[in-house]
Homo-oligomer: A and B are copies of this chain.
Amino acid sequence: MSYTIKDDEVDIVIAALHSELTSFMEEWRPIFSRFHIIIVKDPDLADDLKIPGGFNVNVYTKSDIDRFVGSTGAKLHFSGYSCRYFGYLMSRKKYIISVDDDCVPARDAKDLAIDAAAQHITNLSTPATPFFFNTLYDPFRPGTDFVRGYPFSLRNGVACALSCGLWLNLADFDAPTQSLKPKARSSRYVDAVLTVPTQALLPVSGVNIAFDRELIGPSLFPALRLAGEGKLRWETIEDIWCGMCAKVVCDHLGHGVKSGLPYVWRKEGGDAIESLRKEWEGVKLMEEVLPFFQSVRLPRSAVTAEDCVLEIAGMVKERLGS
């Protein structure tokens, strides 16, 4: 049932929103150095990237993006956080692990760096179980199993297409929440991975995810850009949108989505109160977007992620307008 993922089947994709990547790359060296790495420089960033040696890395910059957009006529925007999606497009590997450049490895109780790449690979290489809830969490983790009463016919599970990690320190709150609780920091390490049940939607954060590009790659693209969004994660909701899109596609195609481990350690961000005005637009938009995604029913003829995304795009145009 489980599948062994080789190192050369994986691309690490990093959206460079900062030009100085030295300490980031050094922190991740023990974990990332065995993989091929794609770094996409935010086209709005002026300074040259500083990347230490010793990595197997391809760097894409504004000129690469312009050439691609020019040649395909695609109306896609790859600036800011969205530049990661250009990395997803350029990858030729089966799996992608994507980590933001303001995150470093989280540390376990013994102060050892947690190998987020290995955990994502474990999540993707073991089946997901979206059709019945296992109260003992991911049954494919060593030390656990299916709970009594779990139907045997569902124990093979399905392919896991998306692994959503969490983070410690700066929690994944929105600007209103962070403004109300300016000192809130996330310190609870929940030692669990679980499959998000079919039909249940979740907000994906692009900060720390991994996915099977062959299965659902086309569903992860920069579809939504807020007018006047800023350069802080909580001022954007492109990843929330594309995560719901990916979940709907997974549900339709019968793939699974896992959430939980691995954790990364996220460094301090900006000023939540200043961001509040910008984020508000995204928060309001969610109220319209959710009923839309909840009601999406894809036709049987949509048998690939690409088919599904084209169908969803058509429905968005028709029903959401903006």
Binding site for B on A (CB under 8 A): 132-137, 143-154, 164, 166, 171-174, 177, 181, 184, 186-192, 194, 196-205, 233-234, 237, 240, 243, 259, 283, 286-287, 290
Interface of A, helix, strand, loop or mixed by DSSP: loop
Residues of B within 8 A of A152 (CB): 283, 286-287
Q: Determine if B172 and A240 form an interchain contact, defined as CB atoms under 8 angstroms apart.
A: no
| Tally of this chain's copies | 2
Among B148, B191, B197, which residue has its beta carbon within 8 angstroms of that of A197? B197
Q: How far is the CA of A149 from the CA of B284 in the complex (A)?
A: 10
Residues of B within 8 A of A196 (CB): 133, 197
Residues of B within 8 A of A150 (CB): 174, 203, 286
Q: Determine if A240 and B149 form an interchain contact, defined as CB atoms under 8 angstroms apart.
A: yes
Q: Determine if B135 and A177 form an interchain contact, defined as CB atoms under 8 angstroms apart.
A: no
Q: Determine if A202 and B132 form an interchain contact, defined as CB atoms under 8 angstroms apart.
A: yes
Q: How far is the CA of A187 from the CA of B144 in the complex (A)?
A: 9
Among B133, B194, B240, which residue has its beta carbon within 8 angstroms of that of A148? B240
Q: How far is the CA of A259 from the CA of B204 in the complex (A)?
A: 22
Q: How far is the CA of A137 from the CA of B192 in the complex (A)?
A: 11
